[in-house]
Amino acid sequence: MKADSGTRLVDVDHLTKAFGSVAAVNGVSFHVNRGEVLGFLGPNGAGKSTTMKMITGYLSPTSGTARIGGADVRTQPRAVKARIGYLPEGAPLYGDMTPEAYLDFSAQVRGLDGEQRKRRVEEVIKQLQLNEVLRRRIETLSKGFKRRLGLAQALVHDPEVLILDEPTDGLDPNQKHAVRQLINEIKPNKAIVISTHLLEEVDAICDRAIIIDHGVLVGEGTPAELRARAENHNAVAIQLPTHIGPKAAKIIAAMPQIERVVPTAHGAMMHLTAYPKGHEFAADIVAAKLRADGIEFQELHTEAGRLDLVFRQLTIQRQNA
């Protein structure tokens, strides 16, 4: 089967959920194509999990809808559910079962039979390295195994769409890496939505990211595009000995292309951050100017922009309001 990339598999259309008079999710729209991993970011309580619960048909939307491969979750919930693999918040599991029985049960409910079922269950066991715990009671497993078992359950029927609510939460760095690698391996044929707090994860696996806050979409773009919105995007970071720091700061601040310079002292070293006007690239001219004026700096580089700054810029004003 040829990967038909570019097909819109997830189409979230003005999804809204009100609990009483509070809108937990308010008119959120986005889409995910085949072969794409979308990072779903936002502070705790922003509405990420509620949105995912609506996409997967666990909660009914107050208004708006989600379409999975063309099937509308409001009118064709069964078709939607059959196409989705879902890891809910906190990776809930039947604690009284064994991983083996649990995966077999999931595969059965998903309509897999006989050889095919056996093969798929074995495959996800291998993919998520669950071999050593197959016959233990789920409630006795470590957090890492539980999370991976939850992922195995979401993958067992090889769905086109994966909705994963914090898939790497509770995993150690090696396990996180393994899960990210797995997601990269399977993504060509799937549309994947991942909610996360970890901005490094966005860089590691996401093609695009959306940020929501208080139930409203506040940002969207590729990681690079989002970074460009950071306050420190294209800022020039300079490291130099403390005694020449103030002089250098004065020279740079006087340049017409530079908006302001922020110095921070680190013992014998001083760190200057120069913010160019309009986030224009300015490292070359700053370097040339300093050299021309005989200032010897140890290091000079351009900041790409930090995702966490963008995240805070986009989500903090409303919190303070």
Partner 1 sequence: MRIMFIIARRELAAYFSTPLAYVFLVTYAAAAGAMTFYVGGFFSRRQADLATFFTFQPWLFLALIPAIGMRLWAEERRTGTIEILMTMPVSTWEAVAGKFLAGWAFTGLALLLTTPIWFTVNYLGSPDNGVIFASYVASFLMAGALLALASCLSALTRNQVIAFVISIAACGLMMVGGADIVIATLRKVAPGVIVDFVASSSFLSHFGTITNGVLDLRDMLFFLSFIGLCLFINGQIIEIKKGA
Interface contacts to partner 1, rule CB under 8 A: 19, 53, 56-60, 78, 81-82, 84, 86, 88-90, 92-97, 101, 105-106, 108-111, 137, 153
Closest contact distance (angstroms) between CB of 108 and partner 1 is 5
Q: How many Cβ atoms are within 10 Å of 157's Cβ, its own excluded?
A: 21
For partner 1, which is the closer residue by CB, 97 or 287?
97
- Nearest partner of 63 among 98, 104, 108, 12, judged by Cα: 12
For partner 1, which is the closer residue by CB, 15 or 59?
59
For partner 1, which is the closer residue by CB, 101 or 237?
101
DSSP state of 242: G
- Nearest partner of 302 among 257, 232, 237, 223, judged by Cα: 237
For partner 1, which is the closer residue by CB, 111 or 246?
111
- Nearest partner of 51 among 73, 83, 82, 20, judged by Cα: 73
Closest contact distance (angstroms) between CB of 111 and partner 1 is 7
Q: What is the CA radius of gyration of the chain?
A: 24
Closest contact distance (angstroms) between CB of 57 and partner 1 is 6
Q: What are phi and psi of 197, to 5 degrees?
A: -100, -15
Contact present, 206 and 36 (Cβ < 8 Å): no
Structure tokens at 15: 């999804």
For partner 1, which is the closer residue by CB, 169 or 259?
169
Closest contact distance (angstroms) between CB of 321 and partner 1 is 28
Closest contact distance (angstroms) between CB of 147 and partner 1 is 13
